[in-house]
Structure 1
Amino acid sequence: MADLDIETLRGSAVDACALLKVLGNPDRLLLLCQLTQGEHCVGDLASATGIEQPTLSQQLTVLRHNGLVSTRREGKQVNYSIASHQAMEVMQVLYRLYCQDPERKEPMK
């Protein structure tokens, strides 16, 4: 096994922790889960997730400021999509582990 550059690993660990910190909120996870299916407008996200408007706007702002989502304006409508390749990869793993597994019945402790 080749020696690992600890400084490179340290920088990667900082980046991974920043991503995980943003993902560590149930509302943001729900929003990103919806966005893995493609671009959605705010109204569609609200309907699909049940997240109330003030909270929805706040969480979308956090996702946007951290570079996880991007926006596209179409008239008065704002559409959101996942902008981060890393976030998409993590969401795909989370989906496989928590949403697809019919055997998973109890929450983790």
Structure 2
Amino acid sequence: MPLPVLNANLEDDQMDRMMENATTATNYLKAISHEGRLMILCHLATGEKSVTELEELLSARQAAVSQQLGRLRLEGLVQPRREGKTIYYSLTDDRSRRIIGLVYELFCEAD
């Protein structure tokens, strides 16, 4: 994928769009820049999980997992689904799955 070429000939609306996209990307990267949230996304990349399943997979307390899920939900990266008393989470769209795949390839695959 080619990188964008920034030059002085960009129209104002093009530069405004780039700034909006940069803000969106920055907020996304901030949301995944915590190891707990990143691990949650890694687990959700393989499919929907309940909060209890995530607690067990992460060896973390419910309060900590819920706090991180709240942040991911606020940023629009995960979506909940309630079934009785159980809440399940899944990725909102394919962007996170793609990012997690790349992070895995760059940082984990060689291990």
- Return the index of the structure with the highest Cα Rg: 2
Q: Secondary structure at the match of 2:63?
A: helix
Give 2:49's aligned residue. 40
Give 1:66's aligned residue. 75
- Give the TM-score of the pair, scaled to structure 2: 0.83
Does residue 1:6 correspond to 2:15, yes or no? Answer: yes
Give 1:92's aligned residue. 101
**Alignment deviations for residues 23-61 of structure 1 (CA, whole Å, 9 cap, x no partner):** 110100010000000000011101111122111111111
- Unpaired segments ≥5 residues, structure 2: none
Counterpart Cα distance in 2 of 1:95 and 1:8? 30
Counterpart Cα distance in 2 of 1:14 and 1:84? 19
Name the Cα RMSD after superposition.
Answer: 1.7
Runs of 4 or more, structure 1, over 4 Å off, are 1-4
Give 1:106's aligned residue. none
Aligned length: 102
Aligned-pair identity (%): 33
Q: 1:85 Cα deviation (Å)?
A: 2.8
Q: 1:87 Cα deviation (Å)?
A: 2.1
**Alignment deviations for residues 49-87 of structure 1 (CA, whole Å, 9 cap, x no partner):** 112211111111111111100011111111000003322
Does residue 1:25 correspond to 2:34, yes or no? Answer: yes
- Give the TM-score of the pair, scaled to structure 1: 0.85
